[in-house]
Structure 1
Amino acid sequence: MTEETITTRSDRAGSASARRKRGILLFLRDLLVIFVVAVLVSFLIKTFLIRSFFIPSQSMEETLVKDDRIIVNQLVPDLTPLERGDVVVFKDPGGWLPARVETPQPPLVAAVDWFLAFVGLSAPDSNDHLVKRVIGLPGDHIVCCNALGQMSVNGVPLDETYVALPPGESKVSRDDFDVEVRDDSLWVMGDNRYNSKDSRYNTETPLEGFVPIDNVVGRAFVVSWPIDHWMWLDNYPQVFDGVDEGTG
């Protein structure tokens, strides 16, 4: 075997090894590009289109159960108008939620939580938001309760099929009220009417129980977790049929 033949084989082996290394580097580069693009797409979706929140309380039962995860359409109300019956997530208007003490986290846990929140897979700010059902839009006149225990909007009694009441109770609110919704604001209530600190019980706050539309993060449209509770969220248009033509 000549020296030239040995050199040629060595060169071929070295070339094959270099190609393998280059292939591995290209594969790793492509994985990194895919990961970065996925993160950016997730961030943009979370920022402009949809977000995930978890349910921290029992105020929306039986529609939403504590620890359910919901997906929120953030195009509402900026591009798509709010409607009565919508289940909305909104920032605390001030005084609705008790002051919360931040629990220190180990640096690694905090970093992971930040990243998951960045891409929309975690919702660490769920405890700073509330979820309720829109009952009244700006200008609506809401009264509760009539002789049948119903609430009315603009003089139209509502048959609220989504409401959870204690056994034997037919009155949809423990306490009577009579309000006219402010401009650019909403009147919201939980479906679990006897266990919901909603607009009715925040009238002593600076905004007197009304929620500015600017505080709305979006409309919840689906329960995404747990799987056995997966469902689309209805806004029950039949319940509010005729309200726009009501006498006020």
Structure 2
Amino acid sequence: MATDHPFDVLEYRDGVFRAARVRAIREVPLRMVVNGRELVRLMFTGAHPRFLAAGYLLSCGLIESARDIATLDVEEGPDALEARVALRNSQPRAHALSVTSGLGRVLAGQGQRLRTQLPLAKGWVDPAAVVRLAAELHARSDLYRLTRGCHNASLCSAGEMLLFRSDIGRHNAIDTLAGQCLLEGLPTGDKMVVSTGRVASEIVHKAVRAGIPVLASTAAATALAVESAREHGLTLIGNVDAGGFRVYSDPGRLAG
């Protein structure tokens, strides 16, 4: 499924209107039905719906591992893609939905069952690698250059970008990474996420729920995100650019 769509528009430049052709990012509804009950509808680009669904369930605390999922199938419905999930030993309660700072919908109480502390191996994150990986994040973002309408996130080892995802919002991009790790059994305790976009508290919760101990963004963090990162032992890095970055929280993973 294409993640963008062409439109003929008018552009106003240098005091003159001109015809132009632009590419706009797609918004595709993903209807999540868990144990026969609709849980939520997410808007996304249409790419990697299984990974997004699994990552969303993990970040909301409805599952702890891939073993909690009996089946996860994606079908085309009349007005949306539909992710139909059967959980083994859990019947989701009728959770309230709340609006996040990214205008996404999450289950009320998300983050209440976070791990108390993330795994700690000291000195494995090279500061120069963080800067380089953030530059690579921008270099890989063909969809952003085409539409100017997406956020990007990547899963990285100490020095290599392993997975890259673009989506309408940073929430979806990070959930998709987490869901792929979950479904494919990829270890996360020695990995970091490098992303675009403001780091709000729910972004920190997603990293902690996924067991990813380092989160770096090209944008700033909110106060609650910093407090949550320090509480759970997350290395939180913000404002990454070619000249460096800001360290909001680090229990010792950064080298030097």
The two structures have a TM-score, normalised by structure 1, of: 0.20
Which is richer in strand? 2
Q: RCO (CA 8 Å, sep 6+): is it higher in 1 or 2? A: 1
Rg (Cα) greater in structure? 1
Which is richer in helix? 1
The two structures have a TM-score, normalised by structure 2, of: 0.19
